[in-house]
Amino acid sequence: MNRALLEVEGLHHWFGGLHVIDGVDLSCPEGVVKAVIGPNGAGKSTLFHLIGGALRPRTGSIRVGGKETAGLPSHRMARLGVARTFQSSRLFPGMSVLDNVLVGLHVRGRSGFLADALLPSSARSEERALRARALEALERLGIAELAQADAAGLPFGRQRIVEIARALAPKPRLLLLDEPACGLNNSETADLAERIRAIRAGGVTVLLVEHDMSLVMEVADQIAVLHYGRKIADGTPREIQADPDVISVYLGAADA
Partner 1 sequence: MRALPPGLRRYAALAGLCAAVVLVQVLLSALHAEQYLVQLTMAAWYSLVAVGLCLLMGHTGQVSMGHGGFLAIGGYASAVLTTLAIPAAGASGTALLLRSLGILAARQDPATGADALAVAPWAAFPCALLLAAAVAFLVGIPVLRLKGHYLAMATLAFGFIVSRLLLGLKFCGEADGISGIPAFRLFAGLAVSGKKALRVPNYYEAWAVVALACFLSVNLMGSRTGRALRAIHGDEEAAAAMGIDTARAKLSVFVLSAVLSALGGVGIAHFGGGIGPGEAAVLKSVRYVALVAAGGMGSLWGTLAVSSVLTFLSLRGVFGLYDDAVFGAILVAAMLFAPEGVPRALAGGARRAASLPRGRGRPA
Q: Could you tell me the sign of the dihedral formed by the alpha carbons of 176, 179, 183, 189, in that order? A: positive
Coil, helix or strand for 193?
A: helix
Q: Is 113 in the site for partner 1 (CB under 8 A)?
A: yes
Cα–Cα distance measured from residue 110 to residue 55, given in angstroms and rounded to the nearest whole number: 26
- Does residue 65 interact with partner 1 by CB under 8 A? no
> At its nearest, how many Å lie between partner 1 and the CB of residue 175?
12
Give the DSSP H/E element, type plus range, for residue 214: helix 213-219
52 forms part of the interface with partner 1 (CB under 8 A): yes
Q: Which of 106, 132, 186, 236 binds partner 1 (CB under 8 A)?
A: 106
Stretch that binds partner 1, among 7-15, 50-58, 180-188, 237-245 (CB under 8 A): 50-58
| Amino acid, single-letter form, for residue 110 | R
Q: Does 70 bind partner 1 (CB under 8 A)?
A: no
Write the CB contacts of 112 (distance below 8 Å, at least 6 apart in sequence).
none
The sheet carrying 205-209 orders its strands as 82-84, 174-178, 205-209, 33-37, 222-227, 230-235
> Site for partner 1 (CB under 8 A): which residue of 112, 155, 244, 252?
112
Sequence-distant (≥ 6) Cβ neighbours of residue 244 within 8 angstroms? none
Specify which residues 8 forms β-bridges with: 26, 62
Q: Does 180 bind partner 1 (CB under 8 A)?
A: no
Q: Which of 168, 169, 150 is nearest to 159 (CA)?
A: 150
- Give the residue, chosen from 12, 107, 135, 171, that forms a contact with partner 1 under the rule CB under 8 A: 107
| Out of 13, 44, 166, 227, the residue judged to bind partner 1 by CB under 8 A | 166
Judge contact between 151 and 92, C-beta under 8 A: yes
Q: Which string of x and - marks every residue 115-154 that binds partner 1 (by CB under 8 A)?
A: -xxxxxx-xx-xx--x------------------------
Which residue of 27, 61, 74, 87 would you call a contact of partner 1, by CB under 8 A?
A: 74
**What is the C-alpha separation between 233 and 188, in angstroms, rounded?**
29
The amino acid occupying position 57 is: P
Among 4, 20, 62, 83, binds partner 1 (CB under 8 A): 83
Nearer to partner 1, 84 or 231 (CB): 84
104 touches partner 1 by CB under 8 A: yes
Residue 38 contacts partner 1 per CB under 8 A: no
Binding site for partner 1 (CB under 8 A): 52-54, 73-75, 77-79, 83-84, 86, 90-95, 99, 102-104, 106-107, 109, 111-113, 116-121, 123-124, 126-127, 130, 166, 170
